[in-house]
Amino acid sequence: MRKQIIFIVTAVLVLVAGLAIGWVTAPYSPGFIFPRHHRSWVADQLNLTTQQHQQMDAIWVPMQQKWAEMSDRRRSLSHERDEAIVHLLNDQQRAAYDKILDDYHAKRDALDKDRQALMHDAVQRSRALLDDSQKAKWDELTKDIHEHRGPWGPATVRSTTRPAGAGGA
């Protein structure tokens, strides 16, 4: 019985560690660097020629496609791992697992709200220091980043769903 408890605790810790690592290192689309449809902020800052921009596209566009495929595979592997762990659990253990997930999601959501508020405050305080022309430039420079990465950092796919067989919402 002691070995089973140690195994379950270890499995849950591995799962939580995997979720944490996945969340922190989740890939983002590098498209904000050299988007295909218009000159990017980075390209403008580097003063790339049209030819250099096209050469950058030749590097980054295929990389983005491969990155997306690898990201899909990564999510699939995480899902397979989560499914395998859930299938090891009995009903009582699944209830404990669900409680851990519920607590984790509640704490993460609260932390995300605090982070968003912190970022919003810093942005507002920074903009208050700028004159109108600087604010316009700020908005121009950050627009592309917001469109491709979101206002608070790299765009990630964070699943709040549970593996099949896990209870809860």
Place of tokens 């922190």: 24
Q: Which residues of 143-154 are buried (b: 16+ CB within 10 A; e: fewer)?
A: ebeeebbeeeee
pLDDT at site 56: 83
Are 127 and 46 in contact, with CB atoms under 8 Å apart? no
pLDDT at site 13: 57
> 109 or 161: which carries more pLDDT confidence?
109
pLDDT at site 10: 61
Q: How do residues 37-65 score in pLDDT, each as one tens digit?
A: 555 666 776 777 888 888 888 888 888 89
Q: How do residues 97-141 score in pLDDT, each as one tens digit?
A: 999 999 999 999 999 999 989 988 888 888 888 888 888 888 887
- Return d(Cα 85, Cα 62) in angstroms, integer: 35
DSSP percent split of the chain into helix, strand, coil, nearest 5: 75, 0, 25
pLDDT at site 152: 45
Query: Where are the domains positioned within the chain?
Result: 2-149
pTM for this predicted structure: 0.46
Beta-strand runs (E) in the chain: none
Phi, psi of 29 (to 5 degrees): -75, 125
- Return d(Cα 93, Cα 143) in angstroms, integer: 47
Least confident of 17-21, 56-60, 90-94, 140-144: 17-21
pLDDT at site 77: 95
With a cut of 70, say whether residue 2 has pLDDT above it.
no
